[in-house]
Structure 1
Amino acid sequence: MADWNAGQYLRFEDERTRPSVDLLRRVPLPDPQHCVDLGCGPGNSTELLVRRFQSARVSGLDNSPGMLAKARERLPGLTFEAADIATWQPDERFDLIFANAVLQWIPDHPGLLTRLVSFLKNGGCLAVQMPNNLNEPSHRLMEQVANEGPWATKLTSASGSKEKIGSFEDYYACLQQAGCTVDIWQTIYVHPLDGAGAIVEWFKSTGLKPYLDPLSPEEQAEYLGRYEAEITKAYPTQADGKVLLRFPRLFFVAQRL
C-alpha cells in the first residue's frame, strides 16, 4: 500500500486514542523498565506509555515513514524504528509490548502472537487492541462499492488486506498455549460524527486505503462518492445533525508466566 497519511489519521486523534487509554488501564505492570509500541503511528499511543511509565525506556516501531516522522516530531527524545512487525526480530526482551490497532493488518495470528509472547520477559505483558468491525455497514459497504464499480477487477484483493478477527475462544486458547494468563474483552464505541462525510474521512486513513490505493485519482473520487452515498443511507442523521459510528474493538492483555 501507499504510505499512511499521518495528518488524515490525526483528524480524529481523540477518538482514536481513547482505545489506547482503555487498553493501558488494564495493563497490570507497576514499574516496567522496557516498553515498545508496535505500530506506533504518529506517537499518540507512545505518548501514553511515556506518561504512565516515567522511569521506563520506551520505543516505537512502524513501517510508515510518514507516521514515524510525526512520532519523532512529537516525542523527539525517543527511539522510533522502521520495521515490519511480521518479520521483526528484536535482540532483547520487553516488559510490555503494546500493539494498538495494528495486528489486524498482519496474517496468521496464532503464529504472530506466539512469536510476540516469546519477546516478553517473564511477567511481561502483550497488550493488544484490534478493530473488530468487518461486519459493520462501514466495512461491508467498502466491499459492496468495490464489487459493483468499474474498478472491480483492480480491487479483487482489497478485502483480504485485513486479517479476519478470531473469537474470544481463539485468542484465549492461543495465548494460554503460549504460556500466558489472559484478560480479554470487547468494547463497542459509538462516535457522534458530523455527517456521512465524516465517516468517509475517518476511514480514508485506515480501512479505505486498500480500496483507494490501486485506483487513479478520478476513480478514487468516484469510488468515494458512491461510498458516501451508501454511508448516508446506512447511518441516519440524528436530531442534532450527527451520525453515530458504531465501532467494535477487541482487546486483550496477555501476561507471560
Structure 2
Amino acid sequence: MIFRQLIDRDTYTYTYILGCEETREAVIIDPVRFNIKQYIKLLKELNLKLLYAIDTHVHADHVTAAGLLRQETGCGIVLGGETKAEHTTKKVFDGDIIEFGNYQIKAIYTPGHTDDSYCFMTENKLFTGDTLLIRGSGRTDFQNGDSYAAYDSIMNKLMTLPGNTIIYPGHDYNGLTSSSVAEEKKNNPRLQVSSAEEYAKLMDDLKLPAPNYIDIAVPANLKCGVEE
C-alpha cells in the first residue's frame, strides 16, 4: 500500500493518503483546505487517481478540502451516515466497506466526540479521527458530543481490536505520529478509568476553550467545504 501521513502545522491536523500500487486508485482522509495544492501535487507525483475524500466527522478546528478536491479531481466525498453535512456523494454506516484498488477500508461508527464520528480501518491501520488520540481522546463538549458514547466507542469498539493495530490519529500536538491499541490501553491516561461515569467526569472537568476556528469551520464543513 502507498501510504503518506501529512500534517497541517496550523491546526496539527493529520491527513492521510492511501493508494493501491497496482491500480493507482487512492483515498484521502481528513484533508485540510489550506493544503489543497500540496495534495494535488503529491497525487500527481505518485501517479494516483483520487476516488474518495473521506472526513471522519464534521470538524470544528479546520475547513475540509473535500469540496475543492472534488472540483479538482472529480473524487467522491464520504462522511458517516449520521452527518448533517450537505454535498456528500457517499454516506457510510457501521461496517460498510470502501474499496480502492485492491484494498478495502472498513467504516466503524464511533460517536462521542461528535454524533457523526467514524474511524476507518484498513489492514492493521486504524484512522481514529478525533475519537482517540495518542495519550488522549477527543473532547465531548460540543457538536452533540457525549462522554458516555465516547467511552463506549473507545472501550468497546477500538480497544477490543488486536493489540498490534496501529493507531493513526486526526491530530497530535506533541510530535507523535502513531501508536497502537496495546500502547494506548496501557499508557493513555484517559483510558485508566473503571466506568463510563468516571470517564464522563474526567472529560467534564477538562474545561477546554473553544477551537480557534469553530465559527468558520463548522458552517463550512456542513457544506463539505464547497464554496457556493
TM class by smaller structure? 0.3 to 0.5
TM-score (norm 1): 0.35
- Identify the structure with bigger relative contact order (alpha carbons < 8 Å, sequence gap 6+): 1
Could you say which structure has the larger radius of gyration? 1
Instruction: Give the TM-score normalised by the residue count of structure 2.
Output: 0.38
